[in-house]
A and B are shown apart, each in its own frame.
Chain A
């Protein structure tokens, strides 16, 4: 059964003409049924296939598409904010709408854009980078996707109720007119209490709660996958850095989300059942919410940046044609960042009066966390040093990342000093800081990663110079928007301010910021255009257009459903690079799948059903708060749907069929 073969090295892979790979399939005759007698949704039409898929690549693509959609929504919200702030004493949007805009912008960008975009990369890449057939629990993976969609829909449905309210079709018993979350992305108590905010807060609570379930489920899945599903020879210290960062990010998620889950539950109880967790009248301490939120919130910012660091650590070596400088140090720094990330949360609360000892301790720990961050930057520069650098679009964006992220790091260190932070807290300086790390960091890395892996997953290569124009425009627009904000903050402009007076002196820089924001948006538009035109008519990309280093470049583009025709046997770090350019002992091996072919799991409706129940729970609970009748029952109905979904999922069994890859199709190298 077990056979090892060594693949021939070829420098140029033949272009792939048809993006569809349909190897012979072994299916039970007729309509296959699950253990409970339901027809399995295998081999059906396009829509059913995507709704029920358990393939990590399709799930990854859906994560990407949904998240990009929300990225655009968040972007439009940002442009409205900037338009409102362009001139002094402006009244383009009302203060209430303004609050909703910045709340939804922050919530959307963090939870519905950057996190799921990272998830898209996890899904697309992890099984390929470790040489596995799929993730450990494919149906759980589909559940994570659909639950993310459910949470996102819950939060954004609030806009429709706001519209209905504006048209006079919908009103709320309590008298609040705000239907959209307006409490800021960190939802500080007591603003979240029923006296101060309407059902927007409920949409926000339930949306985040559902998103938390999605994130934890996905994170558990990826940890198990990375630990247990590595191809033979893929030792931990041979893992690609992106895989390492995924592992650390997933660990952060499973430990950081429970505190926010509990805290959101407590707010919900305060709102629904009159408890006093954060309600001052009953003795609740709003400051406790701040602690619980940031115990989650600080690890969360690392959840947003570590995958980006992983992407950059893949791109830089490839386009410098050198191994990553100090692989172990990069991995180790990532782990230290992750771990220390749990011990610095109070640096978001320096101005609340924590006491001298606590302030000093959190200040020191925050400074300490900048060290491993700096180490990584030096490692990246070390990777570039002496390399044969090729300025392809992903590389240009990656270089932009290093520079921009570093700027964000600098302002971060300025915050870490408590007395300095007392000046900066809640001012535009902080806004500048976190946009440098989030756009200059996470988003640039995601754009870079998209240009890097797009050829792999679409089978088509981007072309022309649009990518370079896009990169330039994004970088210029970004800096034009956010660099002036450092100064605005220092001359006293508070964040989350709806309008400002004529004589404050903030006018000139604000108009610069707004112009920059529209330039940046135009850059993103170019990105989307480039994306779409590549997908539609890009030239064939070939299997390995960049002379890549990791296993995903060893298989056809786009990858066949089963990923690897032969399970690769890894002999070195940078497995594919070693195979192509290393010694003969480092050639990739391959394990044949055996006479019955490759086992593939069946598609399933159940993850979608279970997630749909959660959607119903979230929406009806928010409407229950609005006084809509029978919503309590609807929420119970939602729970029932989820429970039934889970039971059927458990009972149907994974099912499956076998595939027989044609010879020389999708080997470790084909």
Chain B
């Protein structure tokens, strides 16, 4: 059965040990890269282009890179059977698609601005009540 293929001990298989050693460096490099990306993320939001599509796009791109880094290397997807990637990306795509559709379905113009919480800023009030 398949369990045997992946779970059996490889302790003294030199080929296996060499590969694991290579993985070690891959993981390290990836972690450094992702740390750097997180740093960049923090810096670019303070760049003086408020509301810029470029910054917005970069943020999405950077987090996507981190995301891909974790699932493919830390979570071994590139070393594993393709089906696992298919399963996960299916769930991911479904979630992203549903989220996108929902974001389009809601807009500020649908909100009844006559509602009391809107007029009185009630949402705010809860915050003001309990100051420091």
Contact = CB atoms under 8 A, between A and B. Distances in A.
A228 B2 contact: yes
B98 interface: yes
A313 to B, nearest CB: 24
B94 A283 contact: no
Contacts of A291: 102, 105
A281 B116 contact: yes
Nearest to A346: B105
Contacts of A281: 116-117, 122
Interface in A342-365: 342-343, 346, 354-355, 358
Nearest to A251: B90
B123 A342 contact: no
A577 B116 CA distance: 70
B105 A358 contact: yes
Given A255-B91, A255-B94, A342-B94, A283 B117 contact: yes
A342 B104 contact: no
Contacts of A227: 83
Contacts of B123: 276, 282-283
A276 B122 CA distance: 12
B94 A354 contact: no
Nearest to A227: B83
B115 A280 contact: yes
Contacts of B91: 254-255
Contacts of B122: 281-283
A295 interface: yes
B86 to A, nearest CB: 11
Contacts of B118: 283
A283 B124 CA distance: 11
A190 B29 CA distance: 51
Contacts of B97: 342-343
B-side interface mostly = helix
A285 B106 CA distance: 10
A65 B104 CA distance: 45
Interface string B109-127: 0110001111000110010
Nearest to A342: B94
Interface in B73-100: 83, 91, 94, 97-98
A291 B103 CA distance: 11
A280 B123 CA distance: 11
A336 to B, nearest CB: 14
Interface in A272-323: 276, 280-283, 285, 287-288, 291, 295
A354 B98 contact: no
Of the four ranges (under 10, 10 to 19, 20 to 34, 35 or more), the interface on chain B belongs to 20 to 34
Nearest to B1: A228
B81 to A, nearest CB: 11
Nearest to A280: B115
Contacts of B110: 287
Contact of B105 (A254, A276, A342, A354): A354
A276 B94 CA distance: 27
A342 B117 contact: no
Contacts of A287: 110
Contacts of B111: 285
Contact of A295 (B83, B98, B126): B98
Interface string B27-56: 000000000000000000000000000000
A283 B106 CA distance: 14
A630 B51 CA distance: 51
B66 to A, nearest CB: 23
A358 B106 CA distance: 11
Contacts of B2: 228
A285 B104 CA distance: 15
A471 B74 CA distance: 57
A255 B97 CA distance: 13
Contacts of A280: 115, 117
A285 B123 CA distance: 13
Interface in B8-28: none
A612 B118 CA distance: 45
A347 to B, nearest CB: 13
A287 B110 CA distance: 11
A282 B98 CA distance: 25
Nearest to A284: B117
A295 B117 CA distance: 28
Nearest to A357: B104
Contacts of B104: 358
B102 to A, nearest CB: 6
B127 to A, nearest CB: 12
Contacts of B83: 227
Nearest to A361: B101
A285 B108 CA distance: 12
B59 to A, nearest CB: 25
Contacts of B116: 281
A105 B126 CA distance: 40
Interface string A460-494: 00000000000000000000000000000000000
A228 B6 CA distance: 14
Contacts of B126: 282
A282 B126 CA distance: 9
A383 to B, nearest CB: 31
Contacts of A354: 105
Contact of B98 (A254, A283, A342, A358): A342
Contacts of B106: 285, 288
9 contacts: A228-B2, A255-B91, A280-B117, A281-B116, A282-B123, A282-B126, A283-B123, A285-B111, A342-B97
Given A285-B106, A355-B105, 15 more contacts: A255-B94, A280-B115, A280-B117, A281-B116, A281-B117, A281-B122, A282-B126, A283-B117, A283-B123, A285-B111, A288-B106, A291-B105, A295-B98, A354-B105, A358-B104
Interface of B: 2, 83, 91, 94, 97-98, 101-102, 104-106, 110-111, 115-118, 122-123, 126
Closest CB pairs A-B (n = 4)? A283-B123, A283-B117, A255-B94, A358-B105
